[in-house]
Amino acid sequence: MELSEPGESKNMRYALIMAGGSGTRLWPMSRGDRPKQLLPFLEGKSLLEIAFDRLEGLIDRENRYVCAGRRHERAILAEIHGLEKQNFLGEPVGRDTLAAVGLSAAVLAAQDPKAVIGVFTADHLIERAEEFRRIVALGFELVEHCPETLVTFGIAPTAPATGYGYLELGEKIANHDFAWKVRRFKEKPPLELAQKYLAEGPARYLWNSGMFVWRANTLLDCVRRYEPEVHEGLCEIAAAWQTNRRIEVLEKVFPRLKKISVDFAVMERASREETIRVAALPMPLTWLDIGSWPSFAQTCRRDERSNALAGGECVLLDSANCLAASSDPEHLIALVGCENLLVIHTPDATLVCPADRAEQIKELYQQIESRYGGKYL
């Protein structure tokens, strides 16, 4: 694939932070009106605030966008200092990641045909922020030199995780020895297969981080070919974006967009094509997806018996490997003889769950909704 001339990159780089997740696996602290990405989990900072600040020095603040549920617009604008109202992309309903990234690409391409977008999420903790920015900058440079490239970032697996997708790497990309061609995407494998991927090492398999860089028009062209009805809807929304019909068209069209991830809809298909190149840049950083209570526990202070403690007062007797967390600093959590237990307290709901069954909290959430509606959600 021939390299095209690089453009003037500084004014064409944008960031999209996807913050639309409901955080059901972090119930009861994550709620409909204040989802996980807005909770002051880490030394008083929310995950969204950390994600926004992590881009400092990489993307100008006026070029940083956040896509989330429209119902959270006021809370997000109050939370993120430096985020302009016009840079909030409010979804009327959640339609998975293709709709979210497609919306940003359509809106930005309409105002800047050369726009190159970095896509990030609001629920990752990444240590060594300076190195993170250096690697993402390489991703931008690769796309600016070759606009037909879709860049993703891979994390070296540290365990046979079955909750992450995997990238199978091919050969190195010529003239860009920091990037590899993605041979194929492997979605959340069974344990036996995940163990095989781990054994083959990071030179062959990486976790799919869910972070990307692409030229807006390149992504839209892929959507046009793979999901033409979604593309048609996105174009209709973008045409009305700068008019007084924005909300009307968004509410009419967006809920009808196909609910599908960008990985399934675009990245997997593009990795099998000759005209589009999917490239992976390894990110040898400490990376943590805060999507469940066990992953949150990894960010907490620990006592001498590996109990993770967060908020409130805790007294633990003959207990080990538990997470005790409270949103009420005056509330006492007391455990006796407990192991591998999650105990999460809020003023109106308390969760007690074995740590190895944390994935079932999502199922529990659905049962609570069925029985009580939104009262405790």
Domain ranges of the chain: 10-289, 293-372
Q: How far is CA 352 from the centre of its chain?
A: 27
**Residue position matching structure tokens 């977008």:** 117
Q: What is the pTM of this model?
A: 0.90
pLDDT at position 21 is 77
The answer to whether residue 20 scores a pLDDT higher than 90 is no
In this prediction, residues 40-45 reach a mean pLDDT of 80
Dihedral pair phi/psi, residue 137, rounded to 5°: -60, -35
Which is it for the CA torsion 139, 142, 145, 150, positive or negative? Answer: negative
Judged by average pLDDT, the poorest of 211-215, 320-324, 325-329 is 325-329
Q: How many residues does the chain have?
A: 377
Q: Identify the band that residue 142 occupies on the pLDDT scale cut at 50, 70 and 90.
A: very high
Q: What is the pLDDT of residues 71-95, one digit of tens each?
A: 999 999 999 988 999 999 999 999 9
Fold of 10-289: Spore Coat Polysaccharide Biosynthesis Protein SpsA; Chain A (3.90.550)
pLDDT at 167 over 70: yes
Question: Taking 70 as the threshold, does the pLDDT of residue 306 lie above it?
Answer: yes
Name residue, tokens 């996105």: 234
Q: What is the pLDDT of residue 1?
A: 35
CA distance 92 to 51: 23
Q: Is the pLDDT of residue 38 over 80?
A: yes
